[in-house]
Amino acid sequence: MKSLKGLYMAFGMFCAIPLPKLWDESCADRMMPCMPIVGVLIGLLWWGAAELMLYIGVHAVLAAAIIMVLPFLIAGFIHLDGYMDTSDAILSRRTYDERVRILKDPHTGAFAVIMIGVLLILQFSASFAVIDNGRNLTLLIVIPVISRCCSAVSVLCLKTAPHSAYAAMTVRNTGAVHKVVAVLFTACAFVLAWFCAGVTGLIVTAVAAAAYTVAMVCAYRSFKGVSGDLAGFSLVICELCALLALGVV
């Protein structure tokens, strides 16, 4: 029952699809292992929308714009918020205390605006390449899954940042089984990638995992631990790099 509640809470927090409110803090530790399942839903909707647009003949430019924004929209822009806040803090090149203050500041800084512009340009370009070149769209199912697998593993296995109440809440009472489940989901994501697109799927998934790792290492060093914002920052970069890889290979 706790695992089902944790799954329901994960959908409620990490997905914008309306659900009746249900919150039980004693089940919060089950949310992170369930994140890849949320990724499956987002991926299926992403892939389904892309296939539908191709089927009805939507212009490639418009289709690329919709593909670019759809995963952010389905997730309620929660990870994009973490991307902007973390970018603003890291690029400020201030002291640790100042970086934490900037990370928690509700106002939007200049670096956040710059980095969201860079992200959207690259995301649109990659989406257009995927559509225009007729790439294997089934990998759109895999990309949100591997990004959330990486998020689950990092939050569950790395040290929680001193300033992060969110990460502390989601890992409270977690044990080895939570970490094992997250790792098993990650292995399943690679199998799913192989099933969807063979070697190309493995390349895209490997690029995604590598991009998440690099982004998380940089953020982790800056904030002496992992937090929800840092996980969102790394997830967005992970999905961007996966989409870029899909547009190239």
Mean pLDDT, rounded, of the chain: 89
Q: Could you tell me what percent of the chain has a pLDDT over 90?
A: 62
How far, CA to CA in Å, does 106 sit from each of 3, 86, 102, 103, 216?
A: 33, 12, 8, 8, 22
Residues in a beta bridge with 160 = 226
Are the C-beta atoms of residues 241 and 139 closer than 8 Å to each other? no
Mean pLDDT for 217-240 is: 93
d(CA 67, CA 170): 30
Give the pair of three-digit tokens for residue 37. Answer: 């399942």
* Rg over CA atoms, the chain: 17
d(CA 240, CA 214): 13
Are the C-beta atoms of residues 33 and 138 closer than 8 Å to each other? no
Of 97-101, 146-150, 202-206, give the lowest mean pLDDT range.
97-101
Return the pLDDT at 123: 96
181: which residues sit within 8 A by CB, 6+ positions away?
Answer: 33
- Region of residue 201 (phi > 0: left; psi between -120 and 50: alpha; otherwise: beta): alpha
6 falls in which pLDDT band (50, 70, 90)? confident
The three-point CA angle 81-86-91 to 5° equals 135
How far, CA to CA in Å, does 190 sit from each of 15, 149, 177, 178, 213?
A: 23, 10, 20, 19, 16
Closest to 119 (Cα-Cα) out of 216, 233, 248, 210 = 233
Q: Could you tell me what percent of the chain has a pLDDT over 70?
A: 93
Mean pLDDT for 44-50 is: 95
Closest to 184 (Cα-Cα) out of 216, 153, 226 = 153
Return the pLDDT at 218: 94
Q: What is the pTM of this model?
A: 0.92
Give the pair of three-digit tokens for residue 32. Answer: 């992170």
Residues in a beta bridge with 226 = 160
d(CA 209, CA 203): 10
Rounded to the nearest angstrom, the gap between the alpha carbon of residue 28 and the centroid of all alpha carbons in its chain is 19
Question: Of 100 and 5, which is predicted with more confidence?
Answer: 100
